[in-house]
Structure 1
Amino acid sequence: MRKQGLFFRARLLMTNPLMKLLSANGTLLADGATGTNLFNMGLMSGDAPEMWNTEEPGKIKTLYKGAVDAGSDVFLTNSFGANASRLKLHNAEKRTHELARVSAEIARDVADTAGRTVIVAGSVGPTGEIMEPVGTLSHALAVEMFHEAADGLKSGGADVGWLETISAPEEYRAAAEGFTLAGLDWVGTMSFDTAGRTMMGLTSADMVKMVDGLGDHAPLAFGANCGTGASDLLRTILGFSAQGPERPIIAKGNAGIPKYVEGHIHYDGTPELMADYAVMARACGARIIGGCCGTMPEHLRHMREALDTRSMDHPPALEEIVDRLGAFSSASDGTGDDEAPARRTSRRRRAS
Structure 2
Amino acid sequence: MLLELLAEKGRLLADGATGTNYFDRGLTSGDAPELWNVQSAERVAQLHQEFIEAGADIILTNSFGANARRLRLHDAHDRVIELNRRAAEIAREVADRAGRRVVVAGSIGPTGDLFAPLGELTFAQAVEAFAEQAEGLKAGGADVFWIETMSAPDEIRAAAEGVAAAGLPYVFTASFDTAGRTMMGLAPAELPNLAAALTPAPAAIGGNCGVGAPDLLLAILEITTADPNAVVIAKGNCGIPQVTGDHVHYTGTPELMADYTRLALDAGARIVGGCCGTTPRHLAAMRAAMESHVPRARPDVDEIVRRLGPILLKQAAGRPDGDRPRRGRRRA
Q: Is the deviation greater in 176-185 or in 187-196?
A: 176-185
One of 243, 246, 262 as aligned partner of 1:263: 246
In the alignment, structure 1 residue 129 sits paired with structure 2 residue 113? yes
Cα separation, 2, equivalents of 1:172 and 1:245: 21
Cα separation, 2, equivalents of 1:312 and 1:271: 20
3-state DSSP of counterpart to 2:8: helix
Cα separation, 2, equivalents of 1:177 and 1:331: 34
In the alignment, structure 1 residue 34 sits paired with structure 2 residue 18? yes
Matches within 5 A, 1:78-227: 78-214=62-198, 216-227=199-210
3-state DSSP of counterpart to 1:302: helix
Cα separation, 1, equivalents of 2:88 and 2:51: 15
- Residue number in structure 1 paired with 2:287: 304
RMSD across aligned positions (CA): 1.2
In the alignment, structure 1 residue 331 sits paired with structure 2 residue 314? yes
Cα separation, 1, equivalents of 2:316 and 2:241: 20
Q: Conserved in 1, the CA contact under 8 Å of 2:38 and 2:86? A: yes
- Residue number in structure 2 paired with 1:291: 274
TM-score by length of 1: 0.89
Cα separation, 2, equivalents of 1:143 and 1:217: 15
Distance 1:245 1:46, change over 3 A: same
In the alignment, structure 1 residue 315 sits paired with structure 2 residue 290? no
Equivalent position amino acid for 1:300 in 2: L
The structural deviation recorded for 1:217 is 2.9
Cα separation, 1, equivalents of 2:318 and 2:255: 31
Cα separation, 2, equivalents of 1:335 and 1:274: 29
- Residue number in structure 1 paired with 2:33: 49
Runs of 5+ in structure 1 lacking a partner?
1-16, 337-352
Q: Residues 257-283 of structure 1: CA distance to partner in whole angstroms, max 9, x if unpaired?
A: 111124311100101000000010000
Equivalent position amino acid for 2:34 in 1: E
Cα separation, 1, equivalents of 2:125 and 2:4: 33
Equivalent position amino acid for 1:263 in 2: D
Cα separation, 1, equivalents of 2:313 and 2:37: 38
Q: Conserved in 2, the CA contact under 8 Å of 1:165 and 1:191? A: yes
Percent identity among equivalent residues? Answer: 55
Cα separation, 2, equivalents of 1:35 and 1:237: 24
Q: Conserved in 2, the CA contact under 8 Å of 1:236 and 1:333? A: no
Q: Conserved in 2, the CA contact under 8 Å of 1:255 and 1:295? A: yes
Q: Residues 236-291 of structure 1: CA distance to partner in whole angstroms, max 9, x if unpaired?
A: 00000111254300000000111112431110010100000001000000000000
One of 238, 248, 252 as aligned partner of 2:235: 252
The structural deviation recorded for 1:209 is 1.3
Q: Residues 31-79 of structure 1: CA distance to partner in whole angstroms, max 9, x if unpaired?
A: 0000011111100000000000001010010011111010000010000
3-state DSSP of counterpart to 1:62: helix
- Residue number in structure 2 paired with 1:345: none
Q: Conserved in 2, the CA contact under 8 Å of 1:125 and 1:165? A: yes
3-state DSSP of counterpart to 1:286: coil
- Residue number in structure 2 paired with 1:10: none
Equivalent position amino acid for 2:301 in 1: L
The structural deviation recorded for 1:335 is 6.8
Matches within 5 A, 1:46-85: 46-85=30-69
Matches within 5 A, 1:15-26: 17-26=1-10
Q: Conserved in 1, the CA contact under 8 Å of 2:208 and 2:236? A: yes
The structural deviation recorded for 1:182 is 1.7
Equivalent position amino acid for 1:312 in 2: P
Q: Residues 99-130 of structure 1: CA distance to partner in whole angstroms, max 9, x if unpaired?
A: 00000001111111100010000000000000
Cα separation, 2, equivalents of 1:331 and 1:128: 25
- Residue number in structure 2 paired with 1:273: 256
Cα separation, 2, equivalents of 1:334 and 1:77: 35
3-state DSSP of counterpart to 2:203: coil
Equivalent position amino acid for 1:117 in 2: R
Cα separation, 2, equivalents of 1:247 and 1:80: 24
Q: Conserved in 1, the CA contact under 8 Å of 2:192 and 2:227? A: no
Cα separation, 1, equivalents of 2:300 and 2:204: 24
Runs of 4+ in structure 1 displaced over 3 angstroms? 333-336
3-state DSSP of counterpart to 1:324: helix
The structural deviation recorded for 1:197 is 0.2
